Every structure is written in structure tokens, then in C-alpha cells.
Amino acid sequence: MRNVGCAMIGLPQRALVDVTPNYHARAATQRAFSLPPTQVDRPSRRRYACVMPSIATRSMPDSNLSLTPYKVTICGLGELPGLCNGDVTHLLSLLDARHPVPESLNALDGVDRELLHFDDVVAEYPGFIACSVADVERILSFGERVHAAGARARHLLVHCHAGISRSTAAAAVLMAQFNPGRETEAFLKLLDIRPHAWPNTRVVEMADRILDRKGALLDGLVAYRRALLERKPQLSQIVINIGRGHELP
């Protein structure tokens, strides 16, 4: 069966579903992949054209400097209650298409929040809702808000269901958004933030096109996966088991 989503983003012609559709598979994968969260310290030529000149003309940042002036945390739903505190200033929530908003999020006051619903799949698949270009544009718009907040942005929290795929892809993209030329560094930073991450390829590929990075974000993603598998070679079989073996570098 030909998969339209795969054809659109240049992936193999097969339906590839991550751990989202099956609760037990997701739980097993989360146990295998996830660790407790740690903290670390161009938009499209249409909608985001206004910010491109400043990015293009600014001097390249020193590689020794942090990618962001605020700390970044990535987590799953089960970790949210312990992280939703007064320290968080910006929150990006990536939930399954039909998942209700967690109660822990309703307790947040004074936090700039962005909530998106799409399933953790890397291609269009019957019965599931894959991320769209509009979804990724909303992620990047949120990144602009965080960037524009300046000193008011102290702590960015990005979460999905397991803190493995959607949230790690979005976090890496946001760290690279205003750091052209440092895309690989942004993805390698995941080794410190969420060292068992396996970022969603579809999110990264769409962001690369919107930001006109000419493959740099995807190159960073591949570099991260190679570095991760050098540390944890046993994860290769897990990636194959969840139907994403084509993503192995």
C-alpha cells in the first residue's frame, strides 16, 4: 500500500507507527528509552520572512556559548506533576490527537503555553493523525515567542507522552531555530537533556523545509542518532521493534 505521507517527506513507502497506538508497547518502549529529565541551559520564507534578515546578518554565535539563554527540560506525561512548578515560564505540550489535557497543566498560571494534538507517527497512517506543516509552523511560532521574551524566558518545558520522540524533535528544532549553523550541536545537546531520545523524523524534516536549512537539521538528527547508538547499541533492536528501523543511521 502506497503511503502518501512517506512520499511527501521522502521516507520509505511503508506505514511506520511509533509507540503511540499501543499503550503496552509505548510503556515498554518508555522503560527502555527514557531516563529522568535533566535541564540544560529560519522560519519559512513566507510567514517567517520578517525574522530571516536578522538571523542571516548576525555573527555566528560562539560554539562555547549555550544554545539558549534559558534552561530546557524534556519530559513525558508521568513526569509533569514534578516539573509543573513556578520555575517554568514557557510550556510546549504535544499530545496524542484525541488525548485530553492533563490536569497538571491546568494548575499552571502565568506560563506561556502552546498545545498541539497529533499522534507520534512518522508518516500518514489510517486511523492516526500525523503532524502537519501547520503543526510545525505553530511550534516555530512558539519558538519565536520564547525568543522574543528575552530575560522573561527562564525555563522552557517541552513534553509529549513518553518524552522520547515528538518532544525531543521539537526541543532540538527550537534550540536550532535561532542558531543557524549549529543544528548538529542542538541535536547533540539531547545527549545531555534526554539521553535516550529518538526524535520524530517527520517533525524534523518539516522544520528543515520551513526554516530552509537545506538538510542541516536532518544531518544533525543523524549525527545524534549515531552518537546515541555508539553509547547504547542495544537501542537499535528497540527502534526496529517499534517499526522505525529505517531511521537507523
- Nearby residues of 116 by Cβ (< 8 Å), 6 or more positions away: 92, 93, 94, 95, 131, 135, 138, 139
- Tens of pLDDT, residue by residue over 196-223, are 899 999 999 999 999 999 999 999 999 9
Rounded distance between C-alpha atoms, residue 245 and residue 195, angstroms? 19
141, pLDDT greater than 90: yes
Q: In CATH, what number does 4-244 get? A: 3.90.190.10
Distances, alpha carbon 86 to alpha carbons 51, 73, 77, 107, 111, in Å: 30, 14, 18, 10, 9
- Tens of pLDDT, residue by residue over 33-76, are 544 443 333 333 333 333 332 322 223 333 435 999 999 999 99
